[in-house]
Amino acid sequence: MIRPLLLFIQGILLIILLLFLLILFFRLVYFFKERNEARRSAIWEPVLLFYLHDLISLQEAATSLGPPYPHLFNFLTPYLKNIRGKEGEKLQELMEATGLTDYFLKKIRQGRLKERVRAARVLGILGDTRALPDLKALLSSPDSQVAFIAAQALSYLGDRNMLIPVIRTILSRTPTTFEGATGLTVRFGPEISPHVLDLIARWKANTLDLEEVFGVPPFQSLSLLLDILGHHQYLPGMDLYQSLLQEDEHPEILIHLFKLLKKLEYPVKVDLKPFLQHSDWVIRSQASRLVGSIQDNCYQKELTGLLADENWWVRYHAGRALLELGEETLLQEISSSSGEGAKMSRYILSQEGRSLQATGRERNTHLEGKEPNYSGAFPFPADGEGKGEAPEAGDDLQGILQSLAAGEERFRHLLATVAEWIPTPGQRDSPFIMTLDEMEESRSHIQALLEKLATRKRSLEKGEGEEEAQGAGIIYQKKLLQLEDLLLEGKKMAFNTAIFAVHLEERGRALEVMAHSFLETFRLLFGSLERMEILLEEGFFSPGVREENLFPGIPAIQKLTSLLTRIQLLFEKGRQEHSFLQQLLGIQHTFSLLMGVNQEGGSGSVHSLLEDLDQLEKDLTSLCKHPLQPASPPWREELSSILEELATLAPPLLKSFPREGRGRMVHPFISLQEELQVVETLLESLVSLDLLVRVELARSVGSGTGIEIGSLTLSLKEIVSEMMGLLSTHQEEDRRGSGPLWNWRQKKDWYNVSGLKQDLEEEIGQLVFTGEELVRGGEGSWDREWVTREISALQGEISGVGKAWQRVYLPTLKRK
Amino acid sequence: MHLLLSILLITDYLAIGYFFLVNGTYLFLNITAFFTLRRYWFLQDVVDHSRVFESEFYKPLSIIIPAFNEEKTIVENIYSALSLRYPEFEIVVVDDGSTDDTMKYLQDEFRLVPSARSFETPLQTSTIHQVYDSLDYPQLAVIHKENGGKADSLNAGINFSQYPLVCNIDADSLIDSTALLRIVEPFVMDKRVVAAGGTVRIANNCRVKGSQVLEVRLPKSSWSLFQLVEYLRAFLFGRVGWARLNGLLIISGAFGVFRRHHLIAAGGYRRDTVGEDMELVLRLNRMLKEQKREYRVTFLPDPVCWTQVPEDRKSLQRQRRRWQRGLGESLLMNRQIFFNPRYGLLGLVAYPFFFFVEFLGPIIEFCGYLLMLLTLLLGIGSEELFFLFFTAAVLLGILPSTLSLLLEEISYRKFVRLRDAVILFLFAMAENFGYRQINSFWRLQGLWDLLLKKKGWGIQKRERF
């Protein structure tokens, strides 16, 4: 017994020691691995930058970058994600030339399973279609996770023929949720939409068995297909969607149909009443959402009824829909009644910051006996209630005291009124401001009365007997002390609230400016990269043409011109209806502007194009919704096809720009964090400016400047990175509630951020100008000295931005 | 006498058998965890989390933070939650009738105003005094309610939350900024997942900035260091291993995500136990098994929640007694699972293991010590054998801890200094000389509390981060 136990102990001891040694071993391994990776990255980074700036050839770059390939891929991943257009293509060429793509192709064919899966992911990201057969093989792997990764890679490749196998695999062989499946399949891109629509149409015509194709009950695959179409807002299927809505009864399909229709925001001809009264609450709520989004005011009665639905979400969406239909008055009425919908109406109104009626406020069952103070419920004093003028003070002591008492009462009332008021987003023109004015007026009135009392006291002292004067003095002192606290409180409150009011105005305005300036900077900086990407995506011109002219804009204009011509024809057809015609005129006007701007060509035209297309998209959507639109106008089909074309043209153009939706800025109550994010984005664009300047420099001065320019531009990058670091630190501190920005806000003078914004704007403007000058100067004559001098100046400019940044931040940092 | 000796001998052999069974299970869990972690790291490497951000198909989530007398940590905790990277979430702080300045801190810091939000109350809770919205953070709401305990607060939060997923975090914890993205991923990728838990790590002495742990340092006190080793062991292999076997019985109350409709269907958290987190998971298991549903309760090793652990003996003792009582209450409240083949591995392996090892463990351990001594005194076994057996027990105790340290080293390597690794190893060894025995004694006291039907949480000390 002892011997085996002894052996056992020795064995365990040995294992423990071995494990400890392993811990030390892994520590060393990771240390050296990380160090080597850092070293390699330090060598690879300048090589990559020089190559992207045409300072070294593809061959030279490929020789310097090499195995280990997994590390090389990790190193290149951030660039792959962020670089598009010409540089993106160059990057792809470089990956080919280094042997990276071949390495992963080899791995996907011959590697171990893990290597194959990793390679699948990489080749998917690289978009290399040579991997297609191998990815297909991986898709049929018995391991569901491997199959999922293969499906993911295939979706990146966007091959239409792979849609069915991918969906079949995801739905029938992996435990992926519906959200996961949709999230994956939409990556095939909007181009897949006609194919998806065709599948549904064939199923509806009984020429395709969805269950056989996808291996799951039809409602599952159909729901997924509808989600894909909804995600891409595919309008041409509208008739099919409506017929499905009329004929299909499966709740799941109906729910997804409603989601799709809501995304389209297109008028629906089908009677929605049965859905608003459906036994399934999800359908009732989705139908309510749809009615709200398409703003169809035929269902007001049903929606009002749904305010008292048994399900919270149905009540909520019915309320929202009524609000979106502009039925605010109706909601006000219901909210002040004792009806069943009152509670939800009050909630909806308060959410929107709408004023509630004084009676019938929401009372939660848990809140019995507690009168909640609703945001948006401004208890403005009724006429004559504490609002009237204080009686005119007579010169006698009694009269002054009476007036003082009345003044005090009024002031107290106003104070209570202001104290009760709870600011809510969107209340910019609140009566609250007026009450503040009144309070200030009342305070002055009391001050005047006190002065009058003091004067009276003095006059008594002079001529009307010491005893009375002493009495008046005591009264005066007493009154003064009594009112002092009150006035101080009022002053404090007025001050705080006035600042708050200023914030309301200023923050909103500042954010508009900031957002605007961000957009402008963004467009300017990314213009060159974006247009390359956009035009390439749309296949407007060949790479050869791109080399000669960065943005001729001609093919885009040609395409838009043809659309304009077609719209003009429609204009002729549709002019019978006056308001409809006006909308068409609006579209024509947009097109005219579009033509005017784009015919000028040049680098500035892309963002105008984007804006105009956005406007056009909105106009056309609004046009289609117009109530005067004939049920089946002769030009409808043509309009649909134009819309279809626009649907493929506009999204890629617009996708890079912030649009409304989740995460949009809340005006004017945006949090400081969000404001800082705007500034941060501004700074990020500065980093891109640095990149742009480098690219332009490299282009204009040719290949020969070598290390000098490289090191200078890298130091520019460092300066910008430092600024970014500083911003991040402050942002983190602010989140924690302890940094200088936070202190600013506490002191109510945080708005110094606007100074920073102005400084940044100025500096960036100057920087851009200098960069342009630099590029222009470098084009004609090659003067090494001049370039070096100009780069130094540019470096100084960027430092200037850093200093501007510090000017705003450092004083508070020191204070801290 | 002869009979007594025979009984003693048989009991000794039983104890040895129990001892090897327990350690064998730990070893098996370690191996399972190792392979699970390897696969997990690999999948993390090939799945792009940033995609979740870009997609509209994520699931919005409500974070519920119950708070009772948390004035020292609540603000930091909420900022930590506000800074989480996740597309759409709301934070519901439930002040459970704090008697300190928790509400005042909240009001001052987040500019709270009474809310008009309407919500249903499928779960019964104590009276709610008021609900507040924050003027600065639209996604933040605070419920001020009558004191009713943690479970009651969580139920109030569940009632109020409006999103399909619910995440519970403790008010004395900080969450890593990407933790939510990671912990929600299984809910998108696997329709069978009904609940997910994340790793809890120790924040004592760590450098915290911007409500995020920036630098992981070893705690200063020995009590915390022992707990650090315990936490590594429990989370890195215990929970990972059990989750792999689909036998996870607990999702820490400090950080767990559930589907809201399941919580409501199960009747929310029970208010009559201090082990409400474990009890809920057991009840969820029962409910879903009864519904004959295929489901998963999953555990993810890297979504990290940082928490403060007791620094002094008394607080630690209180905590351990409470945990043991909670464990017992939860197991007894769900005794239908015990050796019930209907619950598969959960009923046949996980529940019995928790019952015999985690719940009755302290009794068996102490009986073991007594019997060994008795055997020795009666001269049945040799001193040498006793010593060797004790040494083997100690070494087998050290082995899982060392394996956890190795797993930590090859995975997350949060402790960057070599010195830290050595200190942790030393504490993993030292743990078996005194700390383990004291801990068993506290757990024994917990069992006694259970027998006395003691209620309540006791006083909990908090420090600022």
Q: Which residues of B63-83 are buried (b: 16+ CB within 10 A; e: fewer)?
A: bbbbbbbbbbbbbbbbbbbbb
Structure tokens at A203: 């199923």
Rounded distance between C-alpha atoms, residue A166 and residue A178, angstroms: 14
**Cα separation of B272 and B457, whole Å?**
11
pLDDT tens sequence across A21-61: 999 999 899 888 888 888 888 788 778 877 876 777 888 88
Using alpha carbons only, how large is chain A's radius of gyration in Å?
Answer: 35
pLDDT class for A352, splitting at 50, 70, 90?
Answer: low
pTM over 0.90: no
- A177–B187 CB contact, under 8 Å: yes
Strand partners, B141: B92, B133
Q: Are B261 and B287 in contact (CB under 8 A)?
A: no
The answer to whether B388 contacts A23, with C-beta atoms less than 8 Å apart, is: no
Q: What is the DSSP string of A60-113?
A: HHHHHS-S-HHHHHHHHHHHHHH--HHHHHHHHHHHHHHTHHHHHHHHHHHS-H
> Alpha helix locations (H) across A702-739?
706-736
Whether the CB-CB separation of B63 and B94 falls below 8 Å is answered with no
Ranked by mean pLDDT, the top range of A201-215, A573-587, A592-606, A749-763 is A201-215
Of B109, B133, B410, the CB nearest to A737: B109
Q: How far is CA B228 from the centre of its chain?
A: 13
Mean pLDDT by 10 residues, chain B (465 residues): 76 80 87 88 71 62 92 85 81 93 90 79 91 82 93 94 91 83 86 92 84 84 93 88 90 91 94 90 92 90 87 91 93 92 90 92 86 78 78 88 89 84 93 90 93 73 60
Between CA A390 and CA A444 the distance in angstroms is: 12
| Alpha carbon B357 to chain centroid, angstroms | 17
Q: Which of A82-86, A231-235, B341-345 has the lowest mean pLDDT?
A: A82-86
Q: What is the DSSP secondary-structure string of B243-300?
A: HHTT------TTEEEEEHHHHHHTTS--TT-S-HHHHHHHHHHHHHHHTT---EEEEE
Secondary structure of A258-289 as H, E, C letters:
HHHHHHHCCCCCCCCHHHHCCCCHHHHHHHHH
Q: Whose structure tokens read 């073991």?
A: B368
Quickly count: other Cβ atoms within 10 Å of residue B108's Cβ. Answer: 11
pLDDT of residue A622: 59
Give the C-alpha separation, A537 to A527, whole Å.
Answer: 15
Q: Give yes or no for residue A428 having a pLDDT over 80.
A: no
Whole-angstrom distance, CA of residue A371 vs CA of residue B114: 10
CB contact under 8 A, B389 and A5: yes
Q: How does DSSP assign A503-527, residue by residue? A: HHHHHHHHHHHHHHHHHHHHHHHHH
Q: What is the mean pLDDT of residues A101-107?
A: 88
Residue recorded with tokens 């209806």: A577
Mean pLDDT across A464-484: 61
Cβ–Cβ gap B209/A733 under 8 Å = yes
What are the pLDDT digits (tens) for A500-521?
A: 444 334 433 433 443 343 334 3
Across the beta sheet with B255-259, the strand order is B112-114, B128-134, B140-145, B89-95, B61-67, B165-169, B255-259, B193-202, B296-307, B173-175
| Residues of chain A numbered 167-186 and touching chain B (CB < 8 Å) | 175-180, 182-183, 186
- The Cβ-side half-sphere exposure at B3, using a 13 Å CA radius, reads 0
Q: What is the pLDDT of residue B133?
A: 84
Name every residue whose Cβ is closer than 8 Å to that of residue B210 and which is 6 or more positions away in sequence.
A731, A732, A733, A735, A736, B79, B83
For all residues of chain A together, what is the average pLDDT?
64
Count other C-beta atoms under 10 Å from residue B2's C-beta: 6
Could you give the 3-state DSSP secondary structure of residue A601? Answer: coil
Question: Which residues in chain B have their CB less than 8 angstroms from residue A180's CB?
Answer: 57, 188-189
Tokens 């035929």 label which residue? A298
Q: Cβ–Cβ contacts within 10 Å for residue A16, how many? A: 20
What residues of chain A lie within 8 A of the CB of B389, using their CB? 5
pLDDT in tens, A629-688: 333 333 445 545 554 554 454 444 333 333 333 222 222 223 334 444 544 554 454 444
Q: Do A5 and B385 touch (CB under 8 A)?
A: yes
How many other C-beta atoms are found inside a 10 Å radius of the C-beta of residue A77?
13
Query: Given pLDDT bands bounded at 50, 70 and 90, which one contains residue A134?
Result: confident
Q: Which chain A residues are closer than 8 Å to B131 by Cβ? A: 364, 372
Q: What are the DSSP calls for B152-216, one per residue?
A: HHHHHHHHH--SSEEEEE-TTEEE-TTHHHHHHHHHHH-TTEEEEEEEEEE-TT-EEETTEEEE-
Please tell me the least confidently modeled range out of A172-176, A374-378, A392-396: A374-378
Cross-chain Cβ contact A736/B210 below 8 Å: yes
Per-residue pLDDT band at A612 (split at 50, 70, 90): low
The closest CB to that of A662, out of B88, B121, B409, belongs to: B88
Higher pLDDT, A76 or B157: B157
SS3 A33: helix
- Alpha-carbon distances, residue A650 vs A90, A194, A398, A516, A537 (angstroms): 26, 17, 78, 21, 12
Neighboring chain B residues of A179 at a CB cutoff of 8 Å: 57-59, 188
Distance in angstroms (rounded) separating the CA atoms of residues B232 and B279: 23
Return the pLDDT at A122: 83
Say if residues A675 and A735 touch (Cβ distance below 8 Å).
no
Name every chain A residue with its beta carbon within 8 A of the beta carbon of B135: 423, 669
- Give the chain B residue whose CA is nearest to the CA of A372: B114
Confidence at residue A294, expressed as pLDDT on a 0 to 100 scale:
83
Specify the higher pLDDT residue, A41 or A171.
A171
pLDDT digits (tens, 9 = 90+) for A135-148: 888 888 888 888 88
Of A184-188, A195-199, B11-15, highest mean pLDDT = A195-199
Residues A461-483, mean pLDDT to the nearest whole number: 61
Exposed e or buried b per residue across B347-363, where buried means at least 16 C-beta atoms within 10 angstroms of its C-beta: bbbbbebbbebbbbbbe
| Calpha distance B415→A631 (Å, rounded) | 70
State the best of A116, A177, A675, A746 to mutate against chain B, taking most chain B CBs within 10 Å.
A177
Predicted ipTM?
Answer: 0.85
For A743-812, give the DSSP string: HHHHHT-GGGHHHHHHHHHHHHHHHHHHHHHHHHHHHHS--HHHHHHHHHHHHHHHHHHHHHHHHHHHHH
Contact A85, A56 (CB under 8 A): no
Burial class from Cβ neighbours inside 10 Å (0-12, 13-18, 19+) for residue A89 reads middle
pLDDT at A611: 59
Which of B31, B48, B56 best tests the A interface by mutation, with the highest count of A CBs <10 A? B56
The residues pairing with B257 across neighbouring beta strands, listed in sequence order, are B167, B196
Strand, coil or helix: A397:
helix
Q: Measure in Å the smallest separation between the Cα of B440 and chain A Cα atoms.
A: 24
- Taking contacts as CB-CB distances below 8 angstroms, the residues of chain A near B125 are 366
- Quote the tokens at residue A801: 């931005």
- Give the C-alpha separation, B3 to B115, whole Å: 74
Instruction: Report CA-CA distances (Å) from A119 to A95, A102, A125, A135, A399.
Output: 14, 10, 10, 10, 93
Cα A223 to Cα A214, A276, A455, B257: the distances in Å are 12, 20, 84, 27
DSSP annotation string for A366-393: GGTT-----TT---PPPTTSS-SPPPPP
A368-380 average pLDDT score: 30
* Nearest-angstrom CA–CA distance, A163 and B431: 57
Cα(A509)–Cα(A675) distance, rounded to whole angstroms? 12
- How far apart are alpha carbons A546 and A86 in whole angstroms? 9
Here the tokens at position A547 are 């080399």
Q: Which residues of A touch B395 (CB under 8 A)?
A: 9, 12-13, 16
Chain A residues closer than 8 Å to B113 by CB: 373, 375, 422-423
* pLDDT greater at residue A728 or residue A530: A728
Query: In chain A, which residues have their Cβ closer than 8 Å to the Cβ of B128?
Result: 364, 366-367
Contacts of A582 (CB under 8 A, 6+ apart): none
Task: Enumerate residues 274 to 303 of chain A having a beta carbon within 8 A of any beta carbon in chain B.
Answer: none
Question: What is the distance between the alpha carbons of residues A719 and A712, in angstroms, rounded to a whole number?
Answer: 11
Lowest mean pLDDT among A176-190, A721-735, B260-274: A721-735
Residue in chain A closest to B125 (alpha carbons) equals A366
> Are the beta carbons of B132 and B113 closer than 8 angstroms?
yes
Q: How far apart are CA B76 and CA B72, in angstroms?
A: 8
Q: Answer whether A59's CB lies under 8 Å from A23's CB.
A: no
CA distance B189 to chain A (A): 4
DSSP sequence for A286-343: HHHHHHHHHT-GGGHHHHHHHTT-SSHHHHHHHHHHHHHTT-HHHHHHHHHSSSTTHH
Given CB atoms, is A228 within the 8 Å cutoff of chain B?
no
> Residue B465's pLDDT is what?
55
Selected residue with higher pLDDT from A489 and A190? A190
pLDDT digit string, tens, across residues B140-193: 999 999 999 899 999 999 999 988 899 999 888 888 878 888 888 888 888 899
Q: How far B449 CA lies from chain A's nearest CA (Å)?
A: 34
Token digits of residue A541: 């011109």
Chain A environment of B119 (Cβ under 8 Å) = 312, 364
Q: Which of A9, A145, A669 sits opposite B388 (nearest CB)?
A: A9
